[in-house]
Amino acid sequence: MTILIDQPDFGVEAEEKKNEIDENELVLDGGFVVPEPKSSGGFFVPDTNAFGHTFRDYEADSERKDGVEEFYKTNHINQTYDFVKKMREEYGKLDRVEMSIWECCELLNEVVDESDPDLDEPQIEHLLQTAEAIRRDYPDEDWLHLTGLIHDLGKVVLLPSFGGLPQWAVVGDTYPVGCAFDPSIVHHKYFKENPDYYNPAYNTKYGVYSEGCGLDNVFMSFGHDDYMYLVAKENKTTLPSAGLFIIRYHSFYSLHRSEAYKHLMNEEDVENLKWLKIFNKYDLYSKSKVRIDVEKVKPYYLSLIDKYFPKKLKW
């Protein structure tokens, strides 16, 4: 297949650089351990990851801590409103390749997310773990099973055949650009080196947006979430709006953990956020050493792909 690549200007690069299960933990079928979550803003928010360690703890000492912080420094310096607009225009063309959803799943075998302090497994493992955990607890919501499988497929833009984008332009927490950076965003201090931080057009509460404008009208920091959202939407998926919402905002932690930026949401966003909070538990807590028999589950997911997507998609 022919793949056309235009390499964008990526901006400034920063320098390269089991606890025992207690009585408050829930065990999903298949061996997934999910700690009993604590209530936050009307929703339940878990505290520890699949290995029993504090979840998404960016301050805890670990082999990956310094690399993760350096990642966010580079990310926060370079993710400007103009950069996001440029990347959306370029990658929104979807003119690189035509392939199926499953073919894309297989491409992710070599991808490891450097921004994630909890996971160092190939992405295909995480996709299937997420989907299967959801399937066990929500057997009748097949669209949610499929969303679990495909939510990270946008990470293929890390691969050379898709342009080889740097990690900071693909993974990590996402957030709106074009308005003030909320203090709840991880490693917020590095935004002080982002030119938008001082631009009066972009550094106010609403910036270029208006109250209740709807998140679909908001530019998010560019990454795999937004790219996969564009792929699904432009290829006319029949997933419900909640599925598209999950795909685009599953890394928008300042919203679904800290409830920032709610002033930009419309009524549909409010309803879809309920599904995102359900999904988020499985996205986080299915990170596990439990292996999935790919060939055993593949026919089921192929049937869902046929139901909600065309056989070949433009990427």
Known binding-site positions:
56, 113-115, 126, 151-152, 155, 172-173, 224, 250-251, 283
Cβ atoms 4, 96 nearer than 8 A: yes
How far apart CA 155 and CA 170 sit, in angstroms, is: 6
Neighbours of 254 (CB within 10 A): 21
How far apart CA 191 and CA 175 sit, in angstroms, is: 12
For residue 69, give the amino acid letter: E
Which residues are part of a known binding site for substrate? 56, 113-115, 155, 172-173, 250-251
For residue 276, give the amino acid letter: L
Query: Phi, psi at residue 44, to the nearest 5°?
Result: -95, 125
Query: Phi, psi at residue 65, to the nearest 5°?
Result: -55, -50
Which residues are part of a known binding site for Fe cation? 126, 151-152, 224, 250, 283
Check the CA dihedral 225-227-230-232 and report its sign.
negative
Buried b (16+ CB within 10 A) or exposed e, 100-110: bbbebbebbee
How far apart CA 45 and CA 36 sit, in angstroms, is: 9
For residue 78, give the amino acid letter: N
User: How many residues are recorded in the chain?
Assistant: 315
For residue 73, give the amino acid letter: K
How far apart CA 257 and CA 185 sit, in angstroms, is: 10
Buried b (16+ CB within 10 A) or exposed e, 2-17: eeeeeebeeeeebeee
Query: Phi, psi at residue 275, to the nearest 5°?
Result: -70, -35
For residue 198, give the amino acid letter: Y
